[in-house]
Amino acid sequence: MARTRYAPDRGLTSRMVVTMFLLGLVYVAFVAAFFAIAPGWGLVALVVAVAFLLAQYFFSDRLTMFAMHGRVVSEREAPELHGVVDRICAMSDAPKPRVAVADTDVPNAFATGRNQKKAVVCVTTGLLRRLDPVELEGVLAHEMSHIAHKDVAVMTIASFLGVCAGLITRFGLEWGLWGGFGRRDGDQNTGLVLLLVVLVSAAAYAISFLLTRALSRYRELSADRAAALLTGRPSALASALTKVSGELARIPSRDLRAAEPFNAFFFAPAFAKGFSVSALFATHPPLQRRLAQLQQISDRLGRGV
């Protein structure tokens, strides 16, 4: 963790190390399986995986900002927003990230970037309209703790294998449906190799998906805790959480579906109406668990512990 005044979290650090180690093993097995099944495909898998990793690592901030239609704003354009970020930087003794705004009514915020020099903290116009300055401070302290704890970079790296495996699975299935699995020219080996490739890719995707989801849920609790302790106002963060979660339920389903792919980076998850298995594969812990943790911190601060 960088030398800031954010409370360190050994549990988060150990989970990031374990997740990266396990994903590394999955990656090695993923590529090795491709070389064993079909050497030519193994080389392609390796090249594609490395390309995705480099692209995600070096351009994650630009890609995320482009996808979310975020725009870096100057102090003249958003003086109040910059003022809140400046106060948090003074409290945390952390470098100031770039400040951005995304023009969408979905009330949310996120942080991205591979390190503190490339970090961006972005809020939506919908969030700015709904939160008061104290609540906004809690949300931004939460997002900036992700940067200080370096879990933004870890999540970026951890997600690349799942993206790569998911694409290979999708393309393999589409190719198979269009004739790869049902060939009648006697080349049964081609269909078998394709099927094995799809199965290996699907297994790698499933494992990486579960590992990154587990890390994502813990890092949100860690960020809540760090932000509450830094600002000394866990009630403000709890109020922001409650308000944002309530407002998200009123957002049209079309807008929520567009935002869902970025849930792992959001302050609060956006789920379209009718989503039924969110708790099983959620990127965030349940709202009640987050509020309970903040209440415990408030009680401890009240007792001077």
Paired strand residues for 120: 98, 112
CA distance 249 to 238: 17
**Is the separation of the CB atoms in 212 and 264 below 8 Å?**
yes
Please enumerate, as own/partner, the contacts of 55-60 that have beta carbons within 8 Å and a separation of 24 or more. 56/156, 56/157, 56/159, 56/160, 56/163, 57/114, 57/153, 57/156, 57/157, 57/160, 58/114, 60/112, 60/113, 60/114, 60/156
Q: Rg (Cα) of the chain, in Å, rounded? A: 21
CB 82 within 8 A of CB 132: no
DSSP letters, 80-126, are HHHHHHHHHHHHHT-PPPEEEEE--SS--EEEE-SSTTT-EEEEEHH
Burial (0-12, 13-18, 19+ Cβ within 10 Å), 281:
exposed
Q: Is 142 annotated in some ligand binding site?
A: yes
Contact by Cβ (8 Å): 114, 153: yes
Is 146 a known ligand-binding residue?
A: yes
Distance of CA 88 to the CA centre of its chain: 22
Q: Any known ligand binding at 69?
A: no
C-alpha dihedral, 100 to 103 to 109 to 112, nearest 10°:
-50
> Which residue among 75, 143, 174, 247 is the active-site one?
143
174 is catalytic: no
Of 145, 96, 140, nearest to 122 (Cα)? 140
Binding residues: 142, 146, 220
Just list the catalytic residues: 143
Binding residues for Zn(2+): 142, 146, 220
